[in-house]
Amino acid sequence: MKRILLCLLAAAVLFVSVGCSGQTAQKDGQVAFYYKRAHLDYNSAEGVITYEFREPQEHWGDLTNVLNAYLDGPKASELTNVFPEDCDVLMFSVLEDVANVHLSSSFVRLQGVNLTVACVCLTKTVLELTPAKTVRISAEGVTLAGEQYLELDAQSVLLYDDSNARKTP
Amino acid sequence: VVRWYGSNQLRYAVINVVLTLAVLLFLNVYTSQTSQKLFYQSKESSMIEKCLLASSEIGDLDVIAHSTVARKIAQMDSLRMSRLIVTDQFGVAIYDSYSPKITEGSYILLPEVVAALGDNDVFSWHYHDGTMLSRVATPIYSSGALVGCVYMMEYDTAQGAMIQSLQKNILNITVGLEALIIVYSIFFSRIFSERIRRILASIRIIRVGDYTHRVKMGGSDELRALADEVNDLTDKLQISENKRRLFVSDASHELKTPLASIKLLSDSILQNDMDMETVREFVGDIGNEAERLNRMSQKLLSLSHVESQQDGECEIVYMAPTVQKVVRMLSVIAEKNKIRIVTELDNDSPILILEDDLYQIVFNLVENGIKYNTPGGSVTIRLDRDGDNALLQITDNGMGIPENALDMIFERFYRVDKARSRKSGSSGLGLPIVRGMVERNQGSISVQSRVGKGSVFTVAFPVFDTEEETE
């Protein structure tokens, strides 16, 4: 009985620690792929984006292949893929703290907030995969939101409004 | 013994408390949810209205930039929010009232912002522990095109406290009501159980033989009815017990008399020198007394048999053949007593009866008519019909029965003339047996008599109409 209670306690602690952190933990060599939630949750600390763990595959080889696998979309039904179907990573490199992701021109089909969501998902995934602190995203022969590239880091996104300590004046 | 945990008192109290608790909890939750919903609806319409106003004002700006937006918002006094964010169509923050330096230029991917940039008005609401958190976002249109969104967040403790106070009051009322109900349930169940216990105690007293005890119960409810039923039952038990005692006493007395005679006669034979003829006479008397004892014991058995469960199956019979059989059996005694038996059996009807019972009824009544008659008298047996009843009428012109004895003649061991009855060998059980048999065959018996003129015994049985019954 004590053993069962200890197991339940351990499971509860693990669940709470993972569920509340909002951070991914590398799980036995698995990688976290970020996608948009299929249904918006207005009370979740993770906002519109969450992740799923994926087993590394042998054919992935380098990170370009990993990212191409990522662009194919999520496996979990509660997630949705915002990237166009024919969107590929043409070039990927990490220079110092900056990861450069060069995507095919089909990426430009994303407009408005969908473009932002896609860029944030890609950024968070790349930051999980590499030691880079900034991700620079560009697309072949086109501009993104009027820019040659979009540069994002972990601090440039507000996913959850936790400013509720301040009262309405 | 009823233990407290199995008692109705506890059961009713628990059921009462549980049911009322469930109802109160439901009302509590329902009221609480309804009040929250009302606050929600009020907050939703108010915030969406403000947000739409802000979106409209900002959409009308020539240039949507931090400075122009900040100026416009400063002009709108009604927009008193904990946080107000304005983004462009990509979700990039243009203005943030909360932390301008940190947020502006950042990507705002709050769910409400994403939904608003998808061309929706969104309102979300979260209430917890006295604080109400409301979020709203609406798209900004400029020249018909979606160019951004306004996001507002309000952290409201005033209305939250109001909800909390309301819920607390409802909870207090619920707890108070439940406490009252618990007290009432205990009080009511104690009274109810006490009354049941009183009936139970009375039944126990009656069970050990105190038939004079009566349940005292007030009110006009089911328990009062139950107490009345117990009292009625006790009355019947008392009557039955009195009858039983009287019967035992009478039976003992009646059996004692022939036994005493036998003892006396046998002592006389043993203690006195007698000639053989006298001895024979005494032994003959002993035999007669023994025969009387035998008849009496047989009749007692017969009476007991009548009062017990009916055995055998009823048959549809006509009474005439049985009457004729009885007449044949008793003709010798009748001739010996110089009594004429007359039969009028033409108007016979079928009845449903145990044939042995019918024989015994006719036999006893005709035998009585012969026994209590005078030489030269007659006994008339007539079969008749009165509506749905078949009648058996036995008339004698003998000594008759005094009017004050008519009610008693069906009682056990009752004899109108004890000396004559003993002489005639009557046990005082014949008529009780007749009445028992008549009643167990759904019949009735009545008697009319005048002293010195004779008696008429009328037995009525329902006619068994074969055609009607077949239909």
For residue B104, the distance in angstroms to the closest alpha carbon of chain A comes to 9
* pLDDT attached to residue A80: 93
**Cβ-defined contact of B114 to A113 (cutoff 8 Å):** yes
CA dihedral B281, B287, B288, B289 (to 10 degrees): 110
Report pTM.
0.54
**Cβ-defined contact of B135 to A115 (cutoff 8 Å):** no
pLDDT tens-place string over residues B133-173:
889 999 999 988 999 999 999 888 888 888 888 888 888 98
Rg (CA), chain A: 18
Specify the residue for token string 């106070």: B165
**Cβ-defined contact of A152 to B107 (cutoff 8 Å):** yes
Rounded Cα distance, A136 and A157, in Å: 14
Give rounded-to-5 percent helix, strand, coil for chain B: 55, 20, 25
pLDDT tens-place string over residues A100-142:
999 999 998 898 999 999 999 999 999 988 999 999 999 998 8
Rounded Cα distance, B290 and B228, in Å: 49
pLDDT tens-place string over residues B348-380:
999 999 888 899 899 999 999 998 888 999 999
Q: Which of A113, A155, A167 sits opposite B91 (nearest CB)?
A: A113
Q: Does B118 touch chain A (CB under 8 A)?
A: yes
**Cβ-defined contact of B109 to A163 (cutoff 8 Å):** no
pLDDT, averaged across chain B: 86
From chain B, the residues in CB contact with A115 under 8 A are 90
pLDDT tens-place string over residues B26-44:
988 888 888 888 888 888 9
Query: CA A18 → CA A6, A23, A47, distances in Å?
Result: 18, 7, 16
The pair of structure tokens assigned to A132 is 């880079």
- Residue A136: strand, helix, or coil: strand
Rounded Cα distance, B379 and A57, in Å: 125
Rounded Cα distance, B145 and B157, in Å: 37
| Residue segments in chain B with a per-residue pLDDT below the cut of 50 | 471
Cβ-contact B98, B110 below 8 angstroms: no
Three-state secondary structure of B293-325: HHHHHHHHHHHHHHHCCCCCCCEEEEHHHHHHH
Burial class of B276 by CB neighbour count within 10 A (0 to 12, 13 to 18, 19+): exposed
Pairing of strands B145-156, B131-142: antiparallel
Query: Residue B371's closest CA among B324, B410, B423?
Result: B423
Q: Which of B43, B79, B85, B114 should we substitute to test contact with A (largest number of A Cβ atoms within 10 Å)? A: B114
Q: Which of A40, A156, A164 sits opposite B82 (nearest CB)?
A: A164
Name the phi and psi angles at A56, rounded to 5. Answer: -60, 140
Q: Which of A120, A160, A161, A166 should we substitute to test contact with B (largest number of B Cβ atoms within 10 Å)? A: A161
Q: Kindly indicate whether the ipTM for this predicted assembly is greater than 0.95, answering yes or no.
A: no
Pairing of strands A98-103, A89-95: antiparallel
Rg (CA), chain B: 52
Q: Does A77 touch chain B (CB under 8 A)?
A: no
Size of interface A-B (CB pairs under 8 A): 94
Furthest CA-CA distance within chain A:
65
